[in-house]
Amino acid sequence: MCSLGQLTFLRILDLKFEDFQIVLKIFTRTHLVGSEIKSVTSYYSLQDEMFKKFNFDTEWAVRLISRITNDEDIPIEGDTIVKQLLALQINAEKFFFGIRKSLVEFDEVLEVQRKHVYDLRQSILTGNSESTSQHIFQYMQAVVDEIVFKNVNPLKHPSCWSLGKLLKEYNDIAEELLNDCFAGITEESFRKSLSQLHELNSVNINDFHLPNLPKPPNSFRGIRAKSSSLRRWLAICTDDSTPDGKYRATANLLRKYLGDFMIASYLKVIQESGYDAMYIKEIERAVLVKTLDCFWRDHLVNMNRLSSAVNVRSFGHRNPLEEYKIDGCRFFISMLSATRRLTVESLIHYWSSPMESEELYV
């Protein structure tokens, strides 16, 4: 920049088009700290990438100059050039605005997930001991529900259900908690019990168990425990994810029985561990938070990869943002499911052998 009396000249060299626009905006807003602007001169290269990106034809200028002179540094001036540069500026600003808008829209998808995870994490850290227990009970019931959903079809008779696979998956998770009576249940006895359950006219939900199958341990007693059981039963009955069929009530009672049995067995193992309540809640809270943090970090990496991958789908005439929302939702649901399952497995393993697991969470 140079100044001559009242005249001020600004000469910008070796700047790309978009860089010059930024400098020019800063220049005009600050007014050079009070200096009077008389002239702004800028230089553009005919080989600038912006010209190629927005189909700005510069070949005619190159051919014209080559016919007139061999001097490659001769300036090209005129109203036509100015108008074309202004049109280029408009197209460039639209292009970069679209990029910024797309980034914001993509980030809004992740922001919804981020808020859910942060609220969940905050409720775990600031909640009382009862709140921590409720989180764990909900996790256990959710894990049981996923096992039941994969192997039970409420539209079909229990004889068509995959009860053998259901028992195996359930035992794989809670085997360290279950007593010998439950571990000895066979697929045939399980199927027979469900058939008898379907024929019953009414059941006592406060003290429910499947006919001819073991009752949940007595540790699942008391006002708070019954209140928790009723809340979970209400959530099961109002769950819209279960297909509405003739045997839906039987499937819901199966979900409650397996959930109650796992929770009651977990409470029994905790009571038999001999640790004080404060230490137990610290361990439970640590497992909840660390497992959530671990899967959330992995989820952020996966979402970042997904944001790059969905752009390729635009070649198949698909909306990248919609594809990002759909797959991002699937990833998030899968992440929460894996978080619940690993949390339940970790807690069961910890209290089944606390001395072996103590160094992991303390």
Contact of 284 with 139, CB cutoff 8 Å: no
Which H/E stretch holds residue 39?
strand 39-42
Every domain of the chain and the residues it spans: 2-94, 105-126+276-362, 129-273
Residue 137 or 22, more confident: 137
Q: What is the pLDDT of residues 205-246, one digit of tens each?
A: 777 788 888 888 775 566 666 777 788 888 888 887 777 778
Largest CA distance in the chain: 104
pLDDT at residue 142, as a whole number: 94
Confidence of residue 96 (pLDDT cuts 50, 70, 90): confident
Task: Tell which residue, 96, 121, 93, 145, has the closest CA to residue 259.
Answer: 145
Contact of 324 with 302, CB cutoff 8 Å: no
> Average pLDDT in the 190-202 region?
81
For the domain bounded by 105-126+276-362, which CATH number is listed?
1.10.3060.10
Task: Tell which residue, 280, 256, 262, 271, has the closest CA to residue 179.
Answer: 262
Cα 34–39–45 angle (5° rounding)? 125
pLDDT at residue 225, as a whole number: 67
Q: What is the pLDDT of residues 275-329, one digit of tens each?
A: 888 999 999 999 999 999 999 999 999 999 998 888 787 776 778 888 889 999 9
Q: Please tell me the least confidently modeled range out of 43-57, 105-119, 241-255.
A: 43-57
Helix, strand or coil, per DSSP, at residue 183: helix
pLDDT at 336 over 90: yes
What the block records as the tokens of 241 is 């994810």
Average pLDDT for the chain: 78
